[in-house]
Structure 1
Amino acid sequence: MKVACVGGGPAGLYLSILLKRQDPSHDVTVHERDPEGSTYGWGVTYWQGLLDRLRVCDPESAAAIEEHSVRWNQGVAHVRDLSTRQPGDEGHGIGRHKLLELLADRARTLGVRLEFEDEITPDTLPDADLIVAGDGVHSALRTHHTAHFGAELVPGRNSYVWLGTTKVFDSFTFAFVETGHGWVWCYGYPFSAEQSTCVIECAPETRDGLGLEAADGLARVEKLFAHVLDGHPLVGRDDDGATSWLTFRTLTNRTWHRDNLVLLGDAAHTTHYSIGAGTTLALEDAIALADALRESDGIPRALARYERERKAALLSLQSAARYSAQWYENLNRYIHLPPERMFALLGQRHSPLLPYVPPQLYYRLDRAAGQLEALRRFKRWLGPKLARGAHARALGTRK
């Protein structure tokens, strides 16, 4: 099979790896419009479940990714001059540049052709049995067939900017700062021994009131978060010190394939960055598409199966992402709680019930449910022991 992957992001590169592992005779080329080594973003996050899947699919690339990742198992929230720290699931961070480098090296080793500075347009499609549109949320290949794919972009309300810093956080860090124009907050996490990602978010009226899009916007943000940066600078993409603020847009598509063209990763869907699932979903798309191509009878059936399975898998995550984004858009509902309670509800922000239950009541109900579950686990553990004890006593009585 001859395959052309348009876009050299994690999804396209990983799909090329999986296809060559399945059958070295596949002719696979990845076409990337930008020069090699140039990429946006800082670090990306993933969780243990993804790493376990990667080990099954391709142990070599999984080992390389794990080796170059950093880990944390705690979260900390700073609200005004108060802080709270809580244990959590183990998270992993890796630089986006490093991740792409590792995947590109692995793909080359397997015989994939990587063509950089090679922009593919709807008028210059390569001759291939399968064309994979992994060219991002602004996919030119998808846009060319807008009516067929039925793409819908829904903008969120808040503004955000993606930054880096030389401050290496020891855990996933949240910081909420109150200003005269409203609240500003950040999500920070390490992705190497030298750097962390720092995403800044606020309402658009807060951004404008504080002048955060001005030429010295980066310096203004640094000042707001000096207490968590410990004197370290923030680093943006713009050399002049300005910051490029964005509004996140959630992308959905009615269908994911047309003839021999199929959407992958951000070209097919996006989920709000606050749940940290973008890279995971891109890699899982690649796994599902490779499996469908291997196990289905012909490309049309494979693409139908891939779309069906991935759409079903995304339903709960897309819902969680919507509620997560809305939690931050309605921050004033939660921010005045004691920090430990606010942080607990931050962890519950994916809940469809939380927006409709008073926060203090939801917190008490959640705590009570947790205690009941702990009691249930204790009873399940204790039950067999009591039964064995009763059985032993019964034997002793018979003697």
Structure 2
Amino acid sequence: MKITIVGGGPGGLYFSILMKRQDPSHEITVYERNPEGATYGWGVTYWAGLLDKLRAGDPESAEAIAAASVTWTDGVAIVRDERTVHRGDAGFGIGRRRMLGLLADRARELGVRVAHEHPVTGPDAPELAGADLVVAADGVNSLLREARPERFGAEVTGGRNHYVWLGTTKVFDSFSFAFKETEHGWIWCYAYGFSGEQSTCVVECGPETWRGLGLDRTQEDETLRLLEKIFADLLDGEPLIGREQHGDGAPAQWLNFRTLTTRTWHDGNTVLLGDAAHTTHYSIGAGTTLALEDALGLAAALRSHGADLPTALAVYGRRRRAELVSAQSAAHYSAQWYENLPRYMHLPPSQMFALLGQRHSPLLPHIPPQLYYRLDRAAGRLEPLRRLKRWLGPKVAKAAHRG
């Protein structure tokens, strides 16, 4: 097939790798509008389960990504001025630029043409002429999707809170949070390492706090200095870095997260992948993982139904929409938890942090926080007894039968 991929993010690049591995005779081109090395965002988070899937798809790129990643197990939260630690599962971080570079190198090694600084302006662009398959991996603002809104049925809902992506030279060895109360309300930060030199910091607050602190009207440099002061104990004196300082050319922007869903993921020979098809709130750290899983799902559908493109694309969309339900639900409740943060901040920090880990629960918004915490603790104490009962049950029954 002749395959044209619009968008050189992780999902688009990884899909090109998978298709070249399936059939080296595929003619594949990836068009990316930005210069090579230019990207929005700092680090990417993922969990061990993703590495297993990537190893099955392409061991070489999986090992390169694993080798370039940092890892952590603890979660640390600073609430006002009190620090609390929770143990957790291993998580991984890698610089977004680094990941894109590794995937682009691997794609080229397999014979994929990767063209940077080459925007594709719409479905009638000459770059798409003659393609058997067009993959729209061009992000939440996808030109290919928006050119046919009635076909794809996209719906976007905006979040209440404001957030900004920043970097720092403080290297975190745990996934860290800081929640600070100001005279204008709460403001908080998520921070995680992605290399031996830098970390990502995502700062978020409600609209009242955003305006009250003047963040709606300060320039990037002023914003960074104010946030450094607020989160001084988290940063240990290290500076925050904005996009201009990072070499991206544009100042850091405060945004409202937009949750995107689409009714169908393909139209003719054009198929959506990654943020062009769906978004999930950044607080669950799944955006890149879901895009890579889209790539795996699309490649698998084409392998099974390659001669029947309409069936392959329909199967891909149907399966991935079903698989996304749990992640989209978790993201919805996670975003809601942060939008209602003051509801939890009267708790002792250790209890608040425990409920932060339970923020995906659909029950939590409807149960008083302290009661939910007690019930969750009680359920945790009962779980070993449940496991023992499940283990003993067959053995008791077997002994009774012998008797």
Q: How far apart are 1:378 and its partner, in Å?
A: 3.7
Q: How far apart are 1:238 and its partner, in Å?
A: 3.3
Q: 1:312 aligns with which of 302, 305, 322?
A: 322
In the alignment, which residue of structure 2 is the partner of 1:178?
181
Q: How far apart are 1:114 and its partner, in Å?
A: 0.7
Matches within 5 A, 1:12-91: 12-91=12-91
In the alignment, which residue of structure 1 is the partner of 2:114?
114
TM-score under structure 2 length normalisation = 0.94
Matches within 5 A, 1:1-399: 1-122=1-122, 123-124=124-125, 125-213=128-216, 214-215=218-219, 216-239=222-245, 243-296=252-305, 297-380=307-390
Q: What does the per-residue CA deviation read over 1:106-162, in whole Å, with 9 as the maximum and x for residues that have no partner?
A: 001111011111111223133200000000000001010011111111000000000
SS at match of 2:209: helix
TM-score under structure 1 length normalisation = 0.95
SS at match of 1:20: helix
Contact persistence 1:212–1:218 (CA under 8 A): no
Q: What does the per-residue CA deviation read over 1:251-303, in whole Å, with 9 as the maximum and x for residues that have no partner?
A: 01111110000000000000000000000000000000000001014110000
CA separation in 1, counterparts of 2:370 and 2:389? Answer: 29
Residues 242 and 140 of structure 1: CA distance in aligned 2, closer, same or farther (over 3 Å): closer
Q: How far apart are 1:207 and its partner, in Å?
A: 0.9
Q: How far apart are 1:381 and its partner, in Å?
A: 5.4
Q: Mark the runs of 5 or more structure 2 residues left unpaired by the alignment.
A: none
Contact persistence 1:167–1:230 (CA under 8 A): yes
Residues 144 and 387 of structure 1: CA distance in aligned 2, closer, same or farther (over 3 Å): closer
Number of positions where the alignment pairs a residue of Structure 1 with one of Structure 2: 392
Write the letter of the residue equivalent to 1:171.
S
Q: How far apart are 1:72 and its partner, in Å?
A: 0.5
Query: What is the aligned-residue identity percentage?
Result: 68
CA separation in 2, counterparts of 1:318 and 1:133? Answer: 21
CA separation in 2, counterparts of 1:235 and 1:171? Answer: 19
Write the letter of the residue equivalent to 2:348.
P
Q: How far apart are 1:386 and its partner, in Å?
A: 9.0
Q: Mark the runs of 5 or more structure 1 residues left unpaired by the alignment.
A: 395-399
Q: CA RMSD in A?
A: 1.9
Write the letter of the residue equivalent to 2:29.
T
Q: How far apart are 1:243 and its partner, in Å?
A: 3.9
CA separation in 2, counterparts of 1:220 and 1:59? Answer: 44
Write the letter of the residue equivalent to 1:195.
Q
SS at match of 1:106: helix
Q: Select the structure of larger CA radius of gyration.
A: 1
Write the letter of the residue equivalent to 2:65.
I
